[in-house]
Structure 1
Amino acid sequence: MPPPRKIDLIPTEIRLWLQEALKQRGFSGYVELTDELNTRLAERGEAITVGKSAVHNFGQEYEAFARAQEEASAWAVSWMEDNGLEDEAKRQSVLFQMMTTLAFKAMKSRMEQEGEDINPQELHFLGRMMKDLMSSSGMREKLKADEEKRIAEQAVQQAKAEMQGQIDDAEKDGAIDAEAAQKAREIMGFA
């Protein structure tokens, strides 16, 4: 088995920074980016430096992955709109299914390459990505449910305020007396 690439040995938070920096720079400026990466590694006390070609190769891989993600997301949105499934939770479910398919294809491809084993670190990142996607789906569903509950409670409060106003108006106009108005307020829970 070949030794791991240096880029794969950098700490996760620095790799995440590198991915974000690559996106922000439009996957260009590799010389400056390599200098910044090595400066960050040195400041952190890491005894590793990464070359421009390694950063460039990583950037190309990540760019292809980011494009595939964007295409998958656009496809999911289009597919759900075509099929009338615009619900956010269903979108997350479709994306999760697509990620599962992608993971399977990636693992199958790695296993078919002669003399190469699957890197456990790659499996870890793949599993983490899928866990984050599932987590995101649950959080979105909870946020949506909380928003629907808030809207329903607001509608109930508005309806109560309108009824209270109608009772007050009826009492002022003399349509009902003060005692009847008070009874109505008690029955409706306004007292």
Structure 2
Amino acid sequence: MAPRSHIEVLPVSVREWLDRALTERNFSGYRELEALLREKGYSIGRAQISRYGQKVQRRFAAIRDATEAARQLTKGAPDDQDTRSESIMALVQTELLNSLLEAQTIKEEAGSPVERAERFARMAKNLAPIIHASVSLKKLQGQLKKISAEMATLEQEAAQQGKGHVSLETLKRVREEIYGIIA
């Protein structure tokens, strides 16, 4: 296993300071940051700060892009059927499955069998709530389809039977106001 970078082993407060300094300097001024870190008692080279800065910059860009994409989707495409959540869950499940398959192919030098077993256990533990959420979503979608079908049947019967029964308008109101289903 590769040794951890000097930046990764910095105290959290120093790493947070470095993250802020990188963003305030727009991910430049690495020589100055090297000198400031040296003043704080840490000998970390400009090249290592630069590599770390690129990693932080990519992370920030990914967060910014994901936030903007979510804002645009929410603004431009309402999601009454919650297909976005379903898509996100499918994407996460696919990525986790790929990670599990990749981890199986890692050679023995990547750690002892115990370390590999611990990694698999962590992956499985992280996968469980995602699978549970997916199953819950499918169950709720099935219940919604069933309620919608039953309401449609009742509305047809009300339209055919006329007086003395629940009116078609009442059933439509129940569908929309109580169940939140818009036909």
The two structures have a TM-score, normalised by structure 1, of 0.44
The two structures have a TM-score, normalised by structure 2, of 0.46
Higher relative contact order (CA 8 A, sep 6+): 1
Decide which structure has the larger Cα Rg and report it.
1
